[in-house]
């Protein structure tokens, strides 16, 4: 059976749960080796549990695929770089990046703390920049590579209590 991602290596951020996990399982079923990135934080970005990324990677391996967990925080440039370096070190290359990681800290804008603004922007927007920047030299050298950046209708039409999230997601579109 021909699988559309045979032999490729895909790094997926926020792949421990939810949409990211389903993307990782799907891409692996299509033949890709997967870097499952997820620091295991709660929806608001606090805490951390490596079990989520490890569970997704283990499920892929148990199904006969190739995967490795990465626990880096996309908002940190060095940790974002580690996602791409893990792909190259463990699987020999990087072919695609799926920027799916995101956090929420909802509050009406005039009551929103500076920390709630900056933390959401850091993960949902700067994280996309950091991981993409880390992959770009490899894509240029290979003369190939793909980015998939997730946005939201909150970025396109706005949403009450999500000025930070909406701003980050619309900026990803730009």
- Residues designated as active site: 165
- φ, ψ dihedrals at 146, nearest 5°: -130, 140
Which residue from 146, 18, 135 is spatially nearest to 86, judged by alpha carbons? 135
Q: Are 12 and 33 in contact (CB under 8 A)?
A: no
CA 2/CA 13 separation, integer angstroms: 26
Residue tagged 């989520």 (tokens)? 52
Which residue from 106, 137, 132 is spatially nearest to 119, judged by alpha carbons? 106
Q: 100: Cβ–Cβ under 8 A, 6 or more apart, which residues?
A: 12, 13, 14, 15, 19, 20, 23, 148, 150
Beta bridge partners of 149: 99
**Dihedral angle at the C-alpha atoms of 27, 31, 35, 39, nearest 10 degrees?**
40
């Amino acid at each position: 059976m021909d699988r559309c991602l045979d032999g490729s290596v895909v790094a997926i951020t926020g792949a421990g749960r939810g949409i990211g996990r389903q993307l990782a399982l799907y891409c692996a079923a299509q033949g890709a080796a997967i870097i499952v990135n997820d620091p295991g934080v709660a929806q608001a970005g606090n805490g951390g549990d490596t079990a989520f990324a490890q569970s997704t990677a283990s499920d892929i391996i148990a199904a006969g695929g190739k995967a490795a967990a990465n626990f880096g925080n996309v908002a940190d440039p060095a940790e974002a770089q580690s996602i791409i370096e893990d792909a190259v070190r463990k699987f020999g290359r990087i072919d695609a990046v799926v920027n799916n990681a995101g956090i929420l800290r909802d509050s009406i804008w005039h009551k929103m703390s500076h920390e709630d603004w900056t933390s959401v922007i850091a993960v949902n927007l700067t994280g996309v920049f950091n991981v993409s920047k880390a992959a770009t030299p490899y894509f240029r050298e290979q003369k190939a590579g793909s980015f998939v950046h997730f946005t939201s209708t909150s970025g396109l039409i706005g949403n009450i209590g999500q000025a930070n999230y909406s701003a980050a997601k619309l900026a990803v579109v730009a």
